[in-house]
Amino acid sequence: MSYLSYCLISGVSLLKVVLIQGDIKKGEPDKNRGRFFELMEEAMKQNPQVLVLPELWNTSYADNPRLSADIQGEPTLSILCSFARKHNVNIVGGSTADVVEGKLYNRAHIISRQGELVGEYSKIHLFSLNEEQKHFSPGGQLGLFMLENIRCGIIICYDLRFPELTRALALEGAEIIFICAQWPRSRIHAWKALVSARAAENQIYVVAVNRAGTEGGNNFGGSMAAAPDGEIMAEAGKEETLLTLEFILDRIKEARKEIHYLRDRRPEIYKLC
C-alpha cells in the first residue's frame, strides 16, 4: 500500500501541492502567462490540490512595471480563475504587478478550485535595495485565507526577513504559510535558513516558491518547503522545474504536543521590541 493510500484510509489530513518554478521574461506579460500556463498544465499530471506560482511572474521587475501591469487583477485573474474551475484545483497565484485604484502593488491572488477569489495580499515590506518603493505601494493587511478547510497565510519575498509577520499569521491560526519570491542564489544561504526558521519557530509548514532563470546578473531557483520542526522536505535546483510535495497536517499537532512554542510565549515582556 502506498503512503498516500495509507493516509487516505486512516483519515490523515493530506495536502498535495506543486510549486511551479518557472523562468520569467522581464516586462513581457503575454509570454509569461503563456509559459506559466504550460507549466501549470504539466503540473496537473501530478493530480495536485494546490498550485503555487512565484513573485511577479507576469512582469518580473520591469524597468517601468506599471506599463505592463494588470489592472484590478486583469487579465491574469480571470485566466487563473478559469484554469482553477476547469482543472478543479486551488491556485496560490504567486504575485503580479497590479494597479488598484491608481496605485501599483506587488499583489497576490488566491483562487479556490471553484474558480473563486478567496484571498488577496499586497507585499508589505518593499525591497529598498532595488528601490521597489519607487514603483510599488506597500500593502497594509495580513494575507490570510482558507484552502481545503486549512487556515493559510501568504508573504512575498523580502517579507521573509521579518519574523514578526509570519508570527502574526501563525497567531491568527495559519498552519501553512506560502512564500512567493524572486530570491537570488547569491543569498540562497539566507533563504534556506529563514524558510527553515519560520517553520520551526511557529511549528507550521512553510512552502516557498522561487522563480527560475537569470536576470540582471542574478541567478534564481531553490524552491523548497519546510516541516513544522524546520526540516527541509525538498529543494529544487536553479532550472525550471515542478516540485511536488505532500503535507500531513497532523504533523503540526504532533509537534505541538511535545512542546508548544506559541503557547509558551511571554509577549508582555517583549511586545514592544
Residues marked active site are found at 55, 123, 157
- Dihedral sign of CA atoms 93, 195, 22, 246 in order: negative
Residue 25 amino acid letter: K
* C-alpha–C-alpha distance, residues 175 and 193, integer Å: 19
In 3-state terms, the chain is what percent helix, strand and coil (to 5)?
35, 30, 35
Q: Please, what is the Cα angle at 208 between 204 and 108, to 5 degrees?
A: 100
Concatenate the DSSP letters of all residues of 168-199 into one string: HHHHTT-SEEEEEE---GGGHHHHHHHHHHHH
In this structure, the strands spanning 214-215 and 218-219 are antiparallel
